[in-house]
Amino acid sequence: MWLFLATEVLFFGALFVAYAVLRSRFPEVFSYASHYLDTVMGGVNTCVLIISSLTMALAVYFAQRGKKFALVLCLWLTMSGAVGFLVIKYFEYTHKIHENLVWGPSFYVPPHSHEGDLERSVLAKAPAPAANPVPAPTDPSATSLVSLAARPPADASAIKPAQSGPKGLGAWSAPTAAAAAAMQPQDPIPAEAPSDHLADPKLPPNTHLFFAIYYAMTGLHGIHVVVGMIVIGMLIFRATRGDFGPNYYTPVDLIGLYWHIVDLVWIFLFPLFYLIH
């Protein structure tokens, strides 16, 4: 079993190496993009996994003592910890995919194309120049901090070209006012309404790499949690049948070891992704 655990460590180790290389190459991307992860959800997930690890260790103890009811109870508690972890993870993932915080070029596609998305259509309607005549701010540096979605497109011309870069707003602002005015009557949702992360002027290049390694590592970890649920389910079946006792508890022990290593990997993933200062 320990040899298998060693292969697991090497398996995740390769991804940790990829993480280290990316982070040493793009430190600004990691310190920036980490703020898109929900520390509360990650912290709760850490606690859930630690407690499920505890119940798994207690299950081994009760199997050794031959306490069948306590064993089955602890296995169910471990199982519910795994389910809770995946439910929280599901909310995190769907939120990010919803916002196009994903790997690859899709990261740079504004996520406003879903029909009937109330929140986003309200957001996208806000910059309509005719509906909301907001006076143009005079301070260009203040303008750049305002989300693109919340400001009339005409204001784009107020941004200094130096801040917008070679392909940024400076080049784009000239046709915007006319195009937006022409487009407005037919299409109340402007096509250029970006998501929050695309509107952020501090977004460093290659930020999608953070999400690539994030999904790779947490995804592989999530697969391990699913596998853990399957084997713990088998344990529950056998424990309920009364297979385990002081003379025979090796399956509980070994699956417990597997479950602890899943917990152990998350102990490293949590600070490395969620807690970057």
Partner 1 sequence: MAHSHTAAHGNASEHAAGHPLVGHLVPVSTLLFTALTLLVLTAITVAVRYIDIGEFNIWVAIGIAVVKAALVATFFMHLRWDRPFNLLVFVGCTLFVVLMMAFCVLDTGQYRASQYTGNPPVAQQTLDANAPGAPVALQKEDINP
Q: Is 105 in the site for partner 1 (CB under 8 A)?
A: yes
Q: Is the Cβ of residue 134 or residue 267 nearer to partner 1 in the bound state?
A: 267
Q: How far is the CB of 65 from partner 1 (least distance, A)?
A: 6
Q: How far is the CB of 240 from partner 1 (least distance, A)?
A: 21
**Cα distance between residue 272 and residue 221, in whole Å:** 14
**Cα distance between residue 4 and residue 186, in whole Å:** 62
Identify residue 218 by its one-letter amino acid code.
T
Q: Judged by CB under 8 A, how many residues of this single chain contact partner 1?
A: 87
CA distances from 163 to 192, 200, 206 (A): 19, 12, 18
DSSP summary character for residue 272: I
Q: How far is the CB of 9 from partner 1 (least distance, A)?
A: 5
To 10 degrees, what angle do helices 68-98 and 208-241 make? Answer: 160
Q: How far is the CB of 64 from partner 1 (least distance, A)?
A: 5
Of 42-50, 117-125, 131-139, 225-233, the segment contacting partner 1 by CB under 8 A is: 42-50
* 219-258 positions binding partner 1, by CB under 8 A: 246-247, 249-250, 253, 256-257
Q: Is 74 in the site for partner 1 (CB under 8 A)?
A: no
**Cα distance between residue 81 and residue 94, in whole Å:** 20
Q: Is the Cβ of residue 83 or residue 179 nearer to partner 1 in the bound state?
A: 179
Q: Is 273 in the site for partner 1 (CB under 8 A)?
A: no
Q: How far is the CB of 261 from partner 1 (least distance, A)?
A: 8
Q: Is 95 in the site for partner 1 (CB under 8 A)?
A: no
Of 46-54, 85-93, 212-220, 234-242, the segment contacting partner 1 by CB under 8 A is: 46-54
Q: Is 201 in the site for partner 1 (CB under 8 A)?
A: yes
Applying CB under 8 A, among 162, 185, 186, 241 the residue interacting with partner 1 is 162
Applying CB under 8 A, among 152, 153, 222, 228 the residue interacting with partner 1 is 153
**Cα distance between residue 212 and residue 273, in whole Å:** 12
C-beta of residue 108 within 8 angstroms of C-beta of residue 208? yes
Residues 189, 190, 192, 194: what is their CA dihedral angle, to the nearest 10 degrees? -40
**Cα distance between residue 54 and residue 7, in whole Å:** 24
Applying CB under 8 A, among 188, 205, 219, 242 the residue interacting with partner 1 is 205
Q: Is 264 in the site for partner 1 (CB under 8 A)?
A: yes
Q: Is 16 in the site for partner 1 (CB under 8 A)?
A: yes
| Farthest CA pair distance, the chain | 82
3-state secondary structure of 184: coil
Q: Is 60 in the site for partner 1 (CB under 8 A)?
A: yes
**Cα distance between residue 83 and residue 75, in whole Å:** 12
DSSP summary character for residue 274: I
* 163-182 positions binding partner 1, by CB under 8 A: 163-169, 171-173, 176
Tokens of 130: 């005719």
Applying CB under 8 A, among 72, 75, 101, 198 the residue interacting with partner 1 is 198
C-beta of residue 265 within 8 angstroms of C-beta of residue 216? no
